[in-house]
Amino acid sequence: MAGSGGRPGVGSGLALTFGSAVLWGLAHLCTGRRRTGALLMAADLTLVTAGVTALLTARPFLLGLAVQPGWLTVFSAVALLFALATVAVVIRSYQLVRPRPLTGAAHYLSTAAVGLLCVLVVTPMAYAARLAYVSQNVMASVFGTSSTPVPADPWRGRERINILLIGGDAAPSRAGVRTDSITVASVDTRTGKTLLFGLPRNLQRVPMPIGPARDRFPYGFGGEPPLTPAILNEVWQYAEDHPEIVPGVVTGERGPALLKKTVGGILGLDVAHYAMVDMRGFARIVDALGGVRITVREPIVYGRRNEGLIQAGTRTLSGEEALWYGRSRTYSSDYVRMSRQKCLMNALAKQADPVRVIRSFERLATATANAVSTDIPQELLPALVGLAGKVRGAEIESLQFVPPMIDTNDPDYDLIKEKVTAALAGRPAAKPATATRRSPVPAAPGAPAGASASPQETVALGATCG
């Protein structure tokens, strides 16, 4: 119903105002301002169409932009400008279509309705800008910048990228960092097919890379007896405590530098980067995602006094339960828990879909910033995001170098390399998967004979986590 002077009534005016928030220029056209209305409508349709088209057709490209701080700043500015422009259109539209004179309750109610509409318009854009700001902080706190230029296509001529994945177990009662979960993810850059190579934390006589570390430990890593047992999970902290074996590397980077070279030498792979997750931080990440759904094959007892129990069956684990699922050795072994850790990695990779990530983004970002350390540079993130999309849709397989395949007291490092080569080539290794006593590292004078391997659970290539 029209008001005085040919203006719409209160209800019609509010409807046109609300409509103008969705389609700019609607109120202008209805009040005879055709040129302005047409320009506003064209601008709105162009922006919306471009945004929808980009989301539907250029999602990998947009995800690549989302991990670049510069583009996150641009996105924040664009989101806020779009919100402010829409608010300006809403207010001007209301001015054009509101009845005059408008007094009393109708005036206050209609003004309140328009104000609420402005809040509804600004809120999602402000939230999007907030997410971009949080993302920038995560990028800055977790990822550094590369000292060398990263090519636009870092996978050109590179069939695989190998990343060392570490579960760190630091605690107030323990000096330094203990790397209790050591896995290399070898990803095919063309297909995303991923092989996870797991090394036991208690590998002994680990061959060190050529240089000061090999000079100090020519017969394999010896640690600091009798204070330590001289096993693989001590390499990180030993490098941090002894800068002379990793010359030219600053504090905080010596541990990962030596561990990458050491693990790469064991597997016969060029390990490019590492990512370490603090165990407690891992629990917070899982909680931020709303838990992780996984099949528990048999009940798992955990806790200092065996006070916890994860029942068998397919269930969604909380962060605390997922942490103990991956680390409990009660009535079990290091090797069984290694198998469970790979199952967790697989489940998280498959279940961390964009909807879940966005829904819990701020909690996830905070947990990640506090729990993750890595040497992956910001410049490589766009390419890694694209590769991660392939990984989610591809097969993930695991090969664990545990007894009876490998005797951790005296490992056959030649066999490990052969198994890795065979797995990457998609064929079975020539040697049987039994514990042997051959090692390229010569026995130290007077070294005791290694104990024979006990038959423990082995997760072979292609094993499932169901």
pLDDT digit of tens for each residue in the chain (466 aa)?
A: 444 445 667 788 889 999 999 999 999 999 899 999 999 999 999 999 998 898 888 777 777 777 888 888 888 899 999 999 999 999 999 999 887 776 778 788 888 999 999 999 999 999 888 888 888 888 888 888 887 888 888 988 889 999 999 988 654 444 567 788 899 999 999 999 999 999 998 899 999 999 999 999 999 999 888 878 889 999 999 999 999 999 999 998 999 999 999 999 999 999 999 999 887 788 888 888 888 888 888 888 876 666 678 888 888 888 888 888 877 777 677 777 777 877 887 788 777 766 677 777 788 888 888 888 899 998 898 888 888 888 877 888 889 898 889 999 999 999 999 999 999 988 665 554 444 444 455 555 444 443 333 333 333 333 345 4
The whole-angstrom separation of Cα 263 and Cα 87 is 57
pTM: 0.76
